[in-house]
Amino acid sequence: MRLIVGCQSSNLEDTIIFVEWLLALGEGKLGSDNDGNAIIEIPNDLLIRDSSDPLSDLIDFVYPALLEKCNDISYFQERAILAPLNEIVEEINDRFWSMFPGEDVEYLSSNSLDNSESVGPGFDAALHSPDFLNGLKISESL
């Protein structure tokens, strides 16, 4: 449904074919009997062929003009790369973040407050639970 919304009428037929294929894939109707492993034929128009670096080509396809549009929130809201395994997600993320200039900065969280430093008057440490303190753990490129 999301793929069809806003789809141009010239691309509608191709989009519907892709949606039907995607639904059949999700419902386990493609490929051989699935006992946890199945061979699925992917349509040629979805494959990245003749590439020395298919992962970079995938990122370039999904995120064209990435560096020019990296400050546009809607640009990222309209795109995603899905992967079946966490190891692949990590590889895609590492490659993705390496495309940005600057050094990586990792922000770590803490599960307790440091009482050695003076905090402002009226500060109540009980209001800051470990769930709140651990809520922010990101890595970003400057």
Q: What is the pLDDT of residues 15-39, one digit of tens each?
A: 788 888 888 888 878 877 766 677 8
pLDDT in tens, 52-93: 998 889 899 899 998 899 888 888 888 889 888 899 999 998
Taking the C-alpha atoms of residue 139 and residue 142, their distance in angstroms, rounded to an integer, is 10
Taking the C-alpha atoms of residue 97 and residue 89, their distance in angstroms, rounded to an integer, is 12
Whether the Cβ atoms of residue 63 and residue 79 lie closer than 8 Å to each other: yes
Secondary structure of the chain in the HEC alphabet? CCCCCCCCHHHHHHHHHHHHHHHHHHCCCCCCCCCCCCCCCCCHHHCCCCCCCHHHHHHHHHCCCHHHHCCCHHHHHCCCCCCCCHHHHHHHHHHHHHCCCCCEEEECCCCCCCCCCCCCCCCCHHHCCHHHHCCCCEEEEC
Q: pTM for this structure?
A: 0.55
Assign 128 a pLDDT band (cuts: 50, 70, 90): low
Q: Which residue has the higher pLDDT, 125 or 134?
A: 125
